[in-house]
Amino acid sequence: MCGIVGYIGPKQASTFLIEGLSKLEYRGYDSAGIAVHDGNKITIEKTIGRLANLEQKLEHHKLEGSLGIGHTRWATHGRPSDVNSHPHSDCTGNFVVVHNGIIENYMHLKEQLIAKGHVFTSETDTEVVAHLLEEYYDGDFEASVKRVLGDISGSYALVFMSKFEPNKIICTKQDNPLVIGLGEGENFIASDIPAIINRTRRTYILSDGEMAVVTKDSVWVTNRQGVPITKKVFEVNWDAEAAEKGGYEHFMIKEIYEQPKAIRETMTSRLAKDNSHIIFDELKWTKGELAAIKKVVIVACGTAYHAGIVGKYYIESLARIPVEVDVASEFRYRFPLVDENTLAIVISQSGETLDTLAALKEAKRLGATTLAITNVVGSSISREADQVVYTWAGPEIAVASTKAYTTQLISMAMLSIYMAGIRETISAERSQELISGLRNLPTQVHEILEDVEPIKTFAQQYGFNEDVFFIGRSLDYAVALEGALKLKEISYIHAEAYAAGELKHGTLALIIEGVPVIALATQHDVYEKTLSNIKEVKARDAVVIGIAQQGDDQIKKYVDHTIFIPQADKYLAPILAVIPLQLLSYYAAVTRGCDVDKPRNLAKSVTVE
Ligand code: F6R
């Protein structure tokens, strides 16, 4: 989820490049860089840190020229550093590229290129693209770029410059956004509309597989086979603030809608092509190493803690290792039984949560092997942990966590299948079944997001109730906890989550006529029991909204409304069941006029105890 800009025209390119990058700054990033062609050669300036650092560098080292590309990086492959910042170039400096996304097969390509004598300077996946272009260049820029695209797989928005073509930029995309801003005698390229909105509102939105050759006076779009494509001009009629949110009203809803992509990217390169196993190049655990682990402790806060509860279920039932889950602020003060045979997993979107960081240090001090699941490369937690699995959700701006949570669940699922495979506690068939289930998730999440009207209506109908209860059994209970937290934090409605079987031990006293109860019933093995609990609350005249799997014909008889999620394995159903709950909270907050992205009293990154 980095940012890309490009300029070609009569003016100094660097002026627009810096302006465009600054418009993407709201997303947060860890480094920035630009490359400018002065008619003879391309010069790159890049640096770790915020855009101001780059601007400072450029004050001493002006880049003159009217053709250029720029990038803000949100690190994925390779920590934030000067050398890992974009733009990247080949061995000669003749070809320069900026990239958003992930090149899945970069390791393989890198090995081949190194064998041919290419020298790499960064740890990024992107650099292979520049070297491939060097390798293939035969005097025809477009044809060489096409050959490069034939070799790479993954998701990308890519922009190329060549020393030999001072009047041309080439760009293309696959599963990552890219727009071309159409000016008068100048053209702009950007990954996001906010970067260009001050210069032009006339754009071409590139589709997957399209490639554009951009000069100052023309934009020539073709598919990969070179067949010309006539693009329609898309007039942007949002204001700058709306444009930052990609046309959505809030970052939270934008991020909810980004989940199919975030999930896909988190799984990218980690699922074997034939679904037979999980690939964790970052871990490479052996059977012996895993045999030494007698206990797992998962430590996190808030939403990440809820992901940990799902993780416990996954690891215990698939990899058959006992798991404890702790709220990070409690972990350190309960004298935990942790030693060198413990694997401590900390989960943190930001990688900066102080309680989680402190718990990680404590686990390390007690001798545990530590593993962080985090979304931010180079964060304090990623640096402190022995090993890191990154969720590739991209920057999460809304305070309420959504896409980070689903990608944390994906990571926990992959980790558990991976551990179970090594420990031989899962059959090949079951592993394959789960991995193909994982593969279906982006499409299934998308399906839920296509039909939000009923959820919106429930939120409007029940958004002014002061108490809401969430119930579920087994993994549904873990999702209920997350649903209740989401509703509390952004809509300020008092919400409680209960293990459905626990209601009768006290909480049932609170269930009276008209109280909304959201009942999750996606887990087949406890389905009948959940139905009994639903009947308990219905008998007290609660209004029940059931969340069930498609094909469940029974549930409608017992609840007032039903939200169906696509059919999925019981282990993967939480990743789908949480989506309606996120939407319900979002629309309830909107109905109540709450400040959705910045709920009262809360901050995105909690760096105090
Ligand atoms: C809730 C939420 C918080 C965070 C918690 C941990 O929507 O976002 O509960 O999950 O503060 O934050 P990270 O994951 O950054 O450690």
Is 312 annotated in the active site? no
pLDDT at res. 461: 87
CA of residue 53 to ligand 1 center, whole Å:
29
Query: Is 145 in the same domain as 64?
Result: yes
Q: Looking at the domain assignment, is residue 602 inside a domain?
A: no
Phi/psi of residue 270, each to 5°?
-105, -10
Phi/psi of residue 205, each to 5°?
-95, 115
From the list 586, 594, 588, 498, the residue with the least C-alpha distance to 252 is: 586
Instruction: Write the pLDDT tens digit of every residue in 206-216.
Output: 989 999 999 99
Query: pTM of the predicted model, to two decimals?
Result: 0.82
From the list 562, 587, 397, 395, the residue with the least C-alpha distance to 487 is: 587
Q: Which atom of ligand 1 is nearest to the CA of 350?
A: 15
Query: Is 283 in the same domain as 235?
Result: no
Q: Looking at the domain assignment, is residue 601 inside a domain?
A: no
Mean confidence (pLDDT) of the chain: 94
Sheet holding 67-73, edge to edge: 42-48, 31-37, 67-73, 3-8, 187-190, 179-182, 202-205, 234-235
User: Which domain covers residue 86, as residue numbers?
Assistant: 3-243
* Catalytic-role residue among 538, 570, 598, 604: 604
- Ligand 1 pocket: which of 350, 388, 489 to mutate (most atoms within 8 A of CB): 350
Q: Terminus-to-terminus CA distance in the chain, angstroms?
A: 30
Query: Is 445 in the same domain as 499?
Result: no
Q: Looking at the domain assignment, is residue 228 inside a domain?
A: yes
Q: Confidence band (pLDDT; 50, 70, 90) for 28? A: low
CA of residue 259 to ligand 1 center, whole Å:
17
Query: Is 468 in the same domain as 409?
Result: no
Q: What span, in angstroms and rounded, lies between the C-alpha atoms of 596 and 250?
A: 7
Q: Looking at the domain assignment, is residue 598 inside a domain?
A: no
Q: What span, in angstroms and rounded, lies between the C-alpha atoms of 23 and 298?
A: 38
For the chain, give the percent of residues with pLDDT over 90.
Answer: 83
- Is pLDDT at 238 greater than 80 in this prediction? no
pLDDT at res. 149: 96
Is 91 annotated in the active site? no
pLDDT at res. 155: 84
| Number of domain units in the chain | 3
Instruction: Write the pLDDT tens digit of every residue in 358-375.
Output: 999 999 999 999 999 999
**Average pLDDT rounded to a whole number, residues 28-51:** 92
Instruction: Write the pLDDT tens digit of every residue in 289-348.
Output: 999 999 999 999 999 999 999 999 999 999 999 999 999 999 989 999 999 999 999 999
CA of residue 301 to ligand 1 center, whole Å:
6
Query: Is 391 in the same domain as 478?
Result: no
Q: Confidence band (pLDDT; 50, 70, 90) for 193? A: confident
Instruction: Write the pLDDT tens digit of every residue in 160-180.
Output: 999 999 999 999 998 888 999
Query: Is 386 in the same domain as 471?
Result: no
Which residues form the pocket of ligand 1, taking CB atoms under 6 Å from any ligand atom?
A: 301-304, 348-350, 353, 356, 400-401, 485, 489, 606
Choice among 153-157, 387-391, 402-406, 546-550 with the minimum mean pLDDT = 153-157
Query: Is 215 in the same domain as 159?
Result: yes
CA of residue 329 to ligand 1 center, whole Å:
13
Q: Which atom of ligand 1 is nearest to the CA of 302?
A: 9
Q: Confidence band (pLDDT; 50, 70, 90) for 6? A: very high
Residue 531: CB atoms within 10 Å: 19
| CATH number of residue 440's parent domain | 3.40.50.10490
Q: Are 600 and 492 in contact (CB under 8 A)?
A: yes
Q: Confidence band (pLDDT; 50, 70, 90) for 23? A: confident
Instruction: Write the pLDDT tens digit of every residue in 255-283.
Output: 999 999 999 999 988 999 999 999 999 99
Token representation of residue 271? 């699922």
CA of residue 550 to ligand 1 center, whole Å:
31
Query: Is 495 in the same domain as 359?
Result: no
- Ligand 1 pocket: which of 354, 389, 401, 609 to mutate (most atoms within 8 A of CB): 401
Query: Is 27 in the same domain as 42?
Result: yes
Query: Is 342 in the same domain as 198?
Result: no
Q: Which atom of ligand 1 is nearest to the CA of 305?
A: 10
Q: Which atom of ligand 1 is nearest to the CA of 402?
A: 7
Token representation of residue 445? 């999440």
Give the helix ranges, DSSP H, for 36-140: 51-60, 106-115, 127-136
Could you write out the DSSP letters of every residue in 431-480? HHHHHHHHHHHHHHHHHHHH--HHHHHHHHHHTT-SEEEEEESTHHHHHH
- Ligand 1 pocket: which of 310, 352, 353, 602 to mutate (most atoms within 8 A of CB): 353
